[in-house]
């Protein structure tokens, strides 16, 4: 699927359309990686989501060539085994949030080290994911009036599908905290 999208992107001149294709490609990759993890695991219903987060974010760094532009990522993720019904939507959410950071948190010129830190753990029957960057803050997070597919997708998945919550702070960079019940 991604190869077909790459072929189509080669003939496009419009950068906006290319961005839409690239975002779609990343969403497909995030779901495909979950299925790869299932095949590699001992269980066909749960995956090590901590490892998945590391692998997904590394792939996104390569896609956006962020490592070459100086973005440093650190992931502190516990090996929590998450059921497939939670892993797929959670993976899409992480894809959207991390992609958003790589697109908007560090506009050029940006002074200082570009850093993104992700923490993931299970706490009292809930998954807790914290993603923070030292970027420009308020400009990183889109407003409520933004009708982008990514924003709508994150809100739909977190609140409606996963019965979770999301808190966004934009004081010094951006800090996003997700809480998602495991059951």
Domains of the chain: 2-181 (3.30.565.10)
pTM given for the model: 0.81
Confidence of residue 44 (pLDDT cuts 50, 70, 90): low
Question: Residue 115: helix, strand or coil by DSSP?
Answer: strand
**CA–CA separation, 87 and 161 (whole Å):** 12
| pLDDT of 1 | 55
Write out the DSSP string of 11-80. Answer: T---HHHHHHHHHHHHHHHHHHHHHHHHHHSS-SSEEEHHHHHHHHHHHHHHHTTTTTTTEEEEEEE---
Rg (CA), the chain: 16
- Mean per-residue pLDDT, 146-165: 85
Over residues 54-80, the pLDDT tens digits come to: 999 999 998 888 878 999 999 999 999
């Amino acid at each position: 699927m991604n190869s077909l999208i790459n072929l189509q992107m080669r003939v496009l001149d419009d950068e906006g359309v290319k961005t839409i294709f690239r975002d779609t490609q990343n969403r497909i990759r995030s779901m495909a990686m979950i299925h790869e993890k299932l095949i590699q695991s001992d269980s066909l219903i749960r995956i090590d989501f901590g490892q998945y987060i590391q692998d997904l974010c590394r792939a996104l760094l390569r896609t956006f060539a962020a490592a070459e532009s100086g973005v440093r990522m650190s992931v502190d993720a516990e090996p929590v085994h998450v059921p497939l019904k939670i892993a797929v939507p959670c993976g899409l959410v992480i894809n959207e949030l991390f992609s958003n950071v790589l697109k908007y948190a560090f506009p050029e010129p940006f002074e200082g080290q570009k850093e993104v830190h992700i923490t993931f753990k299970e706490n009292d029957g809930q998954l807790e994911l914290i993603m923070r960057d030292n970027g420009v803050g308020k400009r990183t997070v889109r407003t409520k009036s933004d009708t982008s597919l990514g924003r709508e997708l994150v809100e739909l998945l977190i609140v409606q599908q996963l019965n979770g919550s999301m808190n966004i702070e934009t004081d010094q960079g951006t800090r996003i905290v997700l809480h998602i019940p495991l059951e």
